[in-house]
């Protein structure tokens, strides 16, 4: 499942003078070179790897050279983005929502378009493309499958605040979807919900300790949502050695599935957004609308392991079809308070 993982990049400190690119115009841009900037060491490895595999196909398939840059190697991400924007790149892919503010500012200064994660309040025309995610819907499918597969009616949700505010809101929307999906199977489903870290400060040890405590409190399965620190949840599940306990997001976590710890994952595939953005940059329509990763374009999908019961998986896929047809609405829970309210019985508007 190489395309179902997520990924990262390396930076030279000094700025190199070069010819700045141009924003997307009516005539479009003849894209020959793209910079892919990602935090290889500072985020979920599968997150960067999946995206990197997409752009690595571009030289052969699309005639586009890709410079890969590790943003975790510098303390000044704006300087790194400025550097690649002055090295004849016609597009900069800022593959971390924490880079979005700096990437937008650099795009305005250099006139080199940037593709960023998350919604922007007033993106400059033709210079910033926004990637959005059908997050809560993927969470709903995962919650349904988990509840159908569980031996008990107690599930754990661990939101790990080790990224940007946009990341945390995304994870909380997934968490709310998970609650709603599980309760479509068992209306009395109990949840142990924890959010670890403030302002992107979660650590692997904090997550490990919290995940152990949640399992001791009776959570049979853990839906772990976060970046690099999700490793702590995986290690805690491995420590307890219960079957089918991990429900993840982003990657298949094959390394940890040797003893059947992984039940399922909500997968994120960057291909639809990346390739549509590149195509529209060439056409001169870059940034005219968000680049959405959805169930329909398979930017979001449900990964099954050998431990996923067939009937549960099929129910999850059926729910996805209802969502795509508009027959099933998922509640919106972007904050910790909203998730906790949903767990306690309140029903936010979907």
Could you read off the pLDDT of 193-210 as tens digits, one per residue? 999 997 778 899 999 999
Domain 135-260+305-343 annotated CATH 3.40.50.2300: yes
Contact 161, 168 (CB under 8 A): yes
Contact 194, 174 (CB under 8 A): no
pLDDT at 23 over 90: no
Structure tokens at 231: 């490793």
Query: CA-to-CA distance for 112 and 117, rounded, in angstroms?
Result: 17
Average pLDDT on 298-323 reads 94
Q: Are strands 300-304 and 262-268 parallel, antiparallel or unpaired?
A: antiparallel
Domain boundaries, the chain: 2-133, 135-260+305-343
- The per-residue pLDDT for 244 is 52
141 vs 10 pLDDT, higher one: 141
- The per-residue pLDDT for 349 is 58
47 vs 5 pLDDT, higher one: 47
Query: CA-to-CA distance for 29 and 23, rounded, in angstroms?
Result: 8
Percent of the chain with pLDDT over 90: 69
Equal CATH topology for 2-133 and 135-260+305-343:
yes
Question: Hey, what's the torsion of the CAs at 198, 130, 323, 159, to 10 degrees?
Answer: -10
Cα angle 97-86-70, degrees, rounded to a multiple of 5: 45
- The per-residue pLDDT for 147 is 95
303 vs 17 pLDDT, higher one: 303
Which of 193, 198, 209 has its CA nearest to residue 159?
193
pLDDT at 306 over 90: no
Could you read off the pLDDT of 210-226 as tens digits, one per residue? 999 999 999 988 999 98
189 vs 45 pLDDT, higher one: 189
Instruction: Choose the CATH number for 2-133 among 3.40.50.2300, 3.20.19.10, 3.30.70.1560, 3.30.460.80.
Output: 3.40.50.2300
Query: CA-to-CA distance for 210 and 205, rounded, in angstroms?
Result: 9
Could you read off the pLDDT of 242-295 as tens digits, one per residue? 655 667 665 555 555 545 678 888 999 999 999 999 999 999 999 999 999 999
Structure tokens at 21: 């690119």
Average pLDDT on 298-307 reads 91
- The per-residue pLDDT for 14 is 24
């Amino acid at each position: 499942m190489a395309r179902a993982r997520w990924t990262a990049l390396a930076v030279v400190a000094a700025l190199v003078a070069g010819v700045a690119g141009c924003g997307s115009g009516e005539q479009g841009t003849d894209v020959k070179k793209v910079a892919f900037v990602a935090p290889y060491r500072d985020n979920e490895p599968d997150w960067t790897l999946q995206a990197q595999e997409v752009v690595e196909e571009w030289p052969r398939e699309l005639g586009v050279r890709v410079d890969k840059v590790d943003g975790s190697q510098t303390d000044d991400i704006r300087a790194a983005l400025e550097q690649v924007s002055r090295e004849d790149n016609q597009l900069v892919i800022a593959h971390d929502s924490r880079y979005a503010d700096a990437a937008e500012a650099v795009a305005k200064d250099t006139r080199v378009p940037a593709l960023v994660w998350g919604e922007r309040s007033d993106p400059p025309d033709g210079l910033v493309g926004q990637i959005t995610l059908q997050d809560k819907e993927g969470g709903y499918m995962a919650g349904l499958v988990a509840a159908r597969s569980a031996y008990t009616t107690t599930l754990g949700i661990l939101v790990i605040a080790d990224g940007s505010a946009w990341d945390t809101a995304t994870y909380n929307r997934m968490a709310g979807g998970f609650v709603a999906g599980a309760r479509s199977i068992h209306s009395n489903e109990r949840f142990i919900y924890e959010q670890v870290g403030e302002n992107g400060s979660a650590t692997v040890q904090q997550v490990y300790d919290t995940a152990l405590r949640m399992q001791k409190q009776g959570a049979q399965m853990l839906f772990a949502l976060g970046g690099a620190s999700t490793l702590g949840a995986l290690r805690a599940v491995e420590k307890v050695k219960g079957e089918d306990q991990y429900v993840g997001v982003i990657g298949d976590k094959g390394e940890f599935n040797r003893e059947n710890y992984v039940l399922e994952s909500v997968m994120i595939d960057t291909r639809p957004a990346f390739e549509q953005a590149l195509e529209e940059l060439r056409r001169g329509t870059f940034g005219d609308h968000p680049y959405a990763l959805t169930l329909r374009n398979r930017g979001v999908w449900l990964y099954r392991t050998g431990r996923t019961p067939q009937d549960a998986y099929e129910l999850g896929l059926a729910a996805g079809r209802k969502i795509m047809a508009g027959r099933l609405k998922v509640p919106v829970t972007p904050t910790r308070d909203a998730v906790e309210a949903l767990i306690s019985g309140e029903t936010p508007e979907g």
